[in-house]
Amino acid sequence: MRNSKNLRDYTLEELEALFTNRGLPGYRGRQVFKWLLKPVSDFAELTDLPKNLRQELAQEFSLFIPAVKKVETAQDGTQKLALELADGEVIECVLIPEEDHYTLCVSSQVGCAMGCAFCLTARMGFRRNLWPHEILGQVLRAKELLDQKKSPKPLRNIVFMGMGEPLANYENLIKTLKTLLHPKGFNFSKRRVTVSTAGLVPQIKRLGHEVTVRLAVSLHAACDEIRSRLMPINQRYPLTELLEACRSFPLPRGWRITFEYILLKGVNDTAQDARRLADILRGIPAKINLIPFNEHPLLPFKCPEERAILAFQETLLARGFVATVRKSRGRDISAACGQLATRLAA
């Protein structure tokens, strides 16, 4: 269990306040913060701090980082890391090689409460939210893995598309984003950090005013009837409310909201579905990411044939939308979209 506060749960500003409130100079907080961007787990490693201060911190705080339990490598070079948390729970993150960089897909919860019909993580149920140090720990372990294999390509993109609904863990998400984006933190470009949501409308409205990151919305249907069958959250926040929140989401010039759409054979893949999708997204700066379903024996859906996928894409392109078909990565190690489910795989 979590017996002490983990210092990676603090933002830089909170760390500075932590030290000044104890009568110590704020620069001590900045010194500690720099160490938190490295995979250090022992206060003895914080060598620029006085020994007595290190000992005091060790009495009250933790530097625990999730431990690497297993690494699997797919034929396409994608790597799935299973990480064990302090309480024994296991999460997964996925390191995806691109042409000149890596993208890391991180988890925000143990399991998920959204209950989406096409997603294996939903079968796990919801266990708990992840703390900032458990999300940042995924970044640290991924960077450590790249360093170990002396990769010439940097980790450049972070996508919150792993296990869990990021916006249901809102406060911890915001703290994590602040450390990822801070110039004295991991210093990721805001253009290269994406938060994906199943459609929690109140949190979408808050997010755009608290941090600047890219927004992706898991849409997966263009009418309430089908979307409610696939995604129970739609009964709480139907399409009208969700799309209104998207229309009012503050976007820097030239940015678009990504709408993710899993294509399920005979469910949401018809020409009529494509036309409906174009109609409901009209007026929103949108990029549509079509995702051919990754089949699994525990799930009842099938992937459409390639000609149906391309016809769906062509309908959207003809109506002036940016529409791409996502290439499935890591499918052979169950690291592709909708396949992260540690308890089912164990």
* Pairing outcome for strands 90-97 and 79-84: antiparallel
Catalytic residue among 93, 105, 303, 337: 337
Q: What is the DSSP string of 278-324?
A: HHHHTTS-EEEEEEE----TTS---PPPHHHHHHHHHHHHHTT-EEE
Helices (H) and strands (E) in the chain, counts: 13, 14
For the chain, give every residue range classified as CATH 3.20.20.70: 67-345
Fold for 5-62, please state it. DNA polymerase; domain 1 (1.10.150)
User: Which residue positions form the known binding site for S-adenosyl-L-methionine?
Assistant: 164-165, 196, 218-220, 294
- Reference 101, options 142, 141, 162, 134; nearest CA is 142
- Reference 316, options 257, 346, 272; nearest CA is 272
- Token reading at 309: 């996928």
Residues contacting residue 257 through CB under 8 Å, at least 6 positions apart: 215, 216, 217, 246, 249, 251, 284, 285, 286, 287
Helix, strand, or coil here: 180?
A: helix
Catalytic residue among 92, 93, 105, 246: 92
Residues contacting residue 310 through CB under 8 Å, at least 6 positions apart: 325
pLDDT at site 345: 42
* Rounded distance between C-alpha atoms, residue 33 and residue 245, angstroms: 35
* Rounded distance between C-alpha atoms, residue 260 and residue 249, angstroms: 17
Task: Please say whether the beta carbons of 219 and 256 come within 8 A.
Answer: no
Q: What is the DSSP letter of 259?
A: E
Q: Active site includes 134?
A: no
Express each pLDDT in 144-162 by its tens digit.
999 999 999 999 999 999 9
Task: Please say whether the beta carbons of 160 and 106 come within 8 A.
Answer: yes
Express each pLDDT in 191-243 by its tens digit.
999 999 999 999 999 999 999 999 999 999 999 999 999 999 999 999 999 99
User: Which residue positions form the known binding site?
Assistant: 112, 116, 119, 164-165, 196, 218-220, 294
For the chain, give every residue range classified as CATH 1.10.150.530: 5-62
User: Which helix (H) or strand (E) segment is 51 a member of?
Assistant: helix 51-60
CATH hierarchy code of domain 67-345 = 3.20.20.70
User: Which residue positions form the known binding site for [4Fe-4S] cluster?
Assistant: 112, 116, 119
Share of the chain above pLDDT 90, in %: 90
pTM of the predicted protein model: 0.93
* Pairing outcome for strands 109-111 and 126-129: antiparallel
pLDDT at site 337: 54
Q: Active site includes 246?
A: no
- Check whether 339 has a pLDDT greater than 70: no
